[in-house]
Chains A and B, each alone.
Chain A
Amino acid sequence: MQRLQSAVELEKLRGRILSQRKPEKPCISICGGTGCHAYGCEDIAKAFKNEIKRQGLSKQVELKVTGCHGFCERGPLIVVYPQKIFYQRVSPGDVSEIIAETIIKGNIIDRLLYVDPVSGEKAQFEKDVPFYKRQQRLVFGNNGLIDPTNIEDYLATGGYSALSRVLYNMQPEEVIEEIKKSDLRGRGGGGFPTGRKWESCRNAPSSDGIRYVICNADEGDPGAYMDRSLLEGNPHSVLEGMVIGAYAVGAHDGYVYVRLEYPLALKNLDIALGQAREYGFIGQNILGSGFDFNIKISRGGGAFICGESTALMASLEGRVGEPRPKHIHTALQGLYGKPTNLNNVETWANVPLIINRGADWYSQIGTDGSKGTKIFSLVGKINNTGLVEVPMGITLREIIYDIGGGIPHGKKFKAVQTGGPSGGCLPESLIDLPVDFDRLTRAGSIMGSGGMIIMDEGTCMVDIARYFVQFLTGESCGKCVPCREGLDRMLDILTDITEGKGKEEDIALLEELGDVIKEASLCALGSTAPNPVLSTIRYFRDEYEAHVIEKRCPAGVCKALITFTIDAEKCTGCGVCAKECPQGAISGEKKKPHIIDQEKCIKCGLCRDSCKFDAVIIL
């Protein structure tokens, strides 16, 4: 392939690609995201390939393994184009039937359709599935149409048109103005206005004119995987955003910092980068415009802290990944002391969208202070686990109930943690809170990178706070005292409380310590780390008090504070629990109420899980 030399050549190529594609030609799009991979989508893709070959349909049917479609709960997912028939929980055994019935005869296979658990209705097409219906998939939507290893797929969806427009029709200042007008805010967690960051980077003095742009793909929050899915599924959108950003700030070198634990993202990004170079979207003289920009991929070594911008840059320079004070912003002095513009994966992917459709269109979506859409990873005690892209300002209730399908097993919703491990837990009273940067901050949480962990009534809030503090204690770089020693002591106190050794003054001490860590820490890891503790004390103080004063765990989670007993009225004496008990702690005559020997009981909960009569209760 010859490098494209002008915008006209790009449009010619796009025309040629589109003319070769027949929209009416059936196409099977298999979700190849991380979730579906775990479900075995590779076997399904192989089975389809073989079946298509066997039936001699290679010319009539197209097969595509794409990036993540989002609805991970129901994977492996398949969408059959052009009708967009949506099949879920597909197995290799279904393949020949899909080819025979759906592709050849055009019939829909009933048993592979999604059934709405609430209404019992079956959804034939992707757009009818409630999970997708309420979403606004601007950044994420093309994932299902694109084979990430084929640049032509991206070009067919209009890819790199924003870049050619920027290079040929816009001055760098105009690009910055457009991004500023769109009010795009950083999607990595900080929520800093992107346009302003670009502007200060462009205007920052640099003795030799060197500037850098960086894509932060060191996503490390437990349960969050939107950046991963974007890089895996639509890497060119991120690269295009970066080239536009580089042109705007005047950079000629860029880095993508990806964590090593994302092998598929690394692979797809590497392929995409190679193809973009080949076509002339990256490298010398991009699209014949005279603008040069190169991107290097850097692999993170597995430290959570390297998602922090200054630690990331230290790591890129080959030093230990530790943050430095940010009195001088990285936009002024960043990588190798040069002005550096760092944005998150999702932020970069928003850029081509804004250029293509205009800042005015973009700023119509969302709330006053937060524009556009945001991808959340909806995980935890929720029916529809997956990635959802919603407009800013949508309420938590809509995300959890309308899109997420509510809480499994008819349990009650208790809290939602937004923003990853250092986010706060919001209670049911705030479920109608519109989700945007400022409102979440005011409620004691953060937008973070977009993790959303749902908890049901069986979750102990003290235990959950302890869990997150434990995670952060382990991930603290240990440079500054409040984060290193403060979090460690916070973990001690929380562990004591969950073990029934809590003292009454501990709650006040946790609050005081939390405030100090927040105020005094060097970087954002420390200054947000107390959020899970402070927010749970704020909204679930009664639960802390129950642990400390009454030595009781209301949710029945903290082992030191609970005892398993058998309700004699409900127990039928079936003996199942006694068989399950690994300690032999349960005894009793057949058909008569059984008893648990508390001396032997290790509180594993197997008896409770195995009892069909709900006779095992936690006190």
Chain B
Amino acid sequence: MVELTIDGIKTRVSEGTTVLEAASEMGITIPTLCYYPGLSCYGECRVCLVEVVKGDRSSLEASCTLPVEQGQVILTDSEKARKVRKVIVELLLASCPNSKTLQDMAANMGINKVRFKIKDRGCILCGRCVRYCKEQMKSGGIGFVGRGTSRRVATAFDVTPEECRNCGGCEWICPVNERACMAGNLIDGLCGGCQNLAPVETCPVCTGCSESVGPQGHRVYK
């Protein structure tokens, strides 16, 4: 067992656990996009960054890939982490504005303007589909092609491969596809449907139910 401190609370978890899992066990929600339970951790989206404090220094690490360590001190909601996450979601919105998941996340973080050029790639390259196809369906029909900004998810030579069983899992697991933003016109990269909402209510004890935060906010269980 490893003992660590998350947001000032001491906890003991078994070795090999990630900080994200440890926090989630404690009921602390850390925003995630490329993480999906049951799939390998990838560390692409950097939305789950947490502050790791080491003496008087601290660094930001992706909690989904960060293994717990004895004596670790983690801050999941520090100003530093929040500030960086906000810019990252802003960058994600700039490259994939028509995703309700992202729009909601932005609203939740208090982003009121996307300051970067909008280049709609329709995909955040989180690789959930790629990992699902390979790890859960044991197929490997899709993968990443290209590098840098020309990176995309594709089948080999853009031909439907024999490995593909048309299971539709890739579509189902996609955080962008899952809920497309229907707002239509975007202002400053935001749909406007969510951005002016009052801060969402949260349950007194959050169980990490994965209930999404939308224009209507969480359903609050009392």
Same complex: yes
In the complex, which of the residues B66, B67, B92, B144 contacts A481, with contact meaning CB atoms closer than 8 Å? B92
CA distance A522 to B83 in the complex (A): 17
Interface size class of A (residues with CB under 8 A): 20 to 34
CA distance A519 to B86 in the complex (A): 13
Is residue A580 within 8 Å, beta carbon to beta carbon, of the partner chain?
no
Contact across chains for A473 and B62 when beta carbons are under 8 A apart: no
Is residue A474 within 8 Å, beta carbon to beta carbon, of the partner chain?
yes
Most chain A C-beta atoms within 10 Å of own C-beta, residue among B62, B119, B148: B148
Contacts of B87 in A (CB 8 A): 486, 512-513, 516
> Which among A69-77, A320-328, A424-432 touches the partner chain?
A320-328
> Which among B5-13, B44-52, B192-200, B212-220 touches the partner chain?
B44-52
Contact across chains for A477 and B147 when beta carbons are under 8 A apart: yes
Contact across chains for B43 and A474 when beta carbons are under 8 A apart: no
Contact across chains for A482 and B88 when beta carbons are under 8 A apart: yes
Contact across chains for A489 and B60 when beta carbons are under 8 A apart: no
Of chain A, the residue at the smallest CB distance from B18 is A327
Contact across chains for A303 and B147 when beta carbons are under 8 A apart: yes
CA distance A408 to B59 in the complex (A): 43
CA distance A328 to B41 in the complex (A): 14
CA distance A519 to B95 in the complex (A): 20
Contact across chains for A481 and B148 when beta carbons are under 8 A apart: no
Contact across chains for B149 and A473 when beta carbons are under 8 A apart: yes
Contacts of B45 in A (CB 8 A): 480-481
Contact across chains for A485 and B94 when beta carbons are under 8 A apart: yes
Is residue A484 within 8 Å, beta carbon to beta carbon, of the partner chain?
yes
* Interface of chain A, main secondary structure: helix
In the complex, which of the residues A305, A477, A520 contacts B60, with contact meaning CB atoms closer than 8 Å? A520
In the complex, which of the residues A325, A485, A512 contacts B95, with contact meaning CB atoms closer than 8 Å? A485
CA distance A512 to B80 in the complex (A): 12
How many chain B residues have a CB neighbour from A under 8 Å?
34
Contacts of B59 in A (CB 8 A): 519
**In the complex, which residues 65-108 of chain B have their Cβ closer than 8 Å to any Cβ of chain A?**
65-67, 80, 83-84, 87-88, 91-92, 94-95
Contacts of A516 in B (CB 8 A): 83-84, 87-88
CA distance A320 to B140 in the complex (A): 14
Contact across chains for A477 and B46 when beta carbons are under 8 A apart: no
Contact across chains for A481 and B88 when beta carbons are under 8 A apart: yes
Contacts of B150 in A (CB 8 A): 478
Of chain A, the residue at the smallest CB distance from B49 is A520
Is residue A17 within 8 Å, beta carbon to beta carbon, of the partner chain?
no
Whether A484 contacts B46 in the complex (CB less than 8 A), given A489-B91, A489-B117, A520-B84, comes out as no
In the complex, which of the residues A325, A474, A486 contacts B62, with contact meaning CB atoms closer than 8 Å? A325
CA distance A473 to B148 in the complex (A): 7
Contact across chains for A478 and B46 when beta carbons are under 8 A apart: no
- The 4 A-B residue pairs with the shortest CB-CB distance, nearest first, are A478-B151, A489-B116, A485-B91, A516-B87
Identify 14 new A-B residue pairs, CB closer than 8 A, beyond the known A516-B87, A522-B62: A324-B43, A325-B62, A325-B65, A328-B67, A477-B147, A478-B149, A478-B151, A479-B125, A488-B148, A489-B117, A513-B87, A515-B84, A520-B84, A520-B88
A sample of 21 inter-chain contacts (CB < 8 A) reads: A325-B66, A327-B61, A475-B148, A476-B148, A477-B151, A478-B125, A478-B147, A478-B151, A481-B45, A482-B46, A484-B125, A485-B149, A488-B119, A488-B149, A489-B91, A489-B94, A516-B83, A516-B84, A516-B87, A522-B44, A522-B46
Give the interface of A toward B (CB within 8 A): 303, 305, 320, 324-325, 327-328, 473-482, 484-486, 488-489, 492, 505, 509, 512-513, 515-516, 519-522
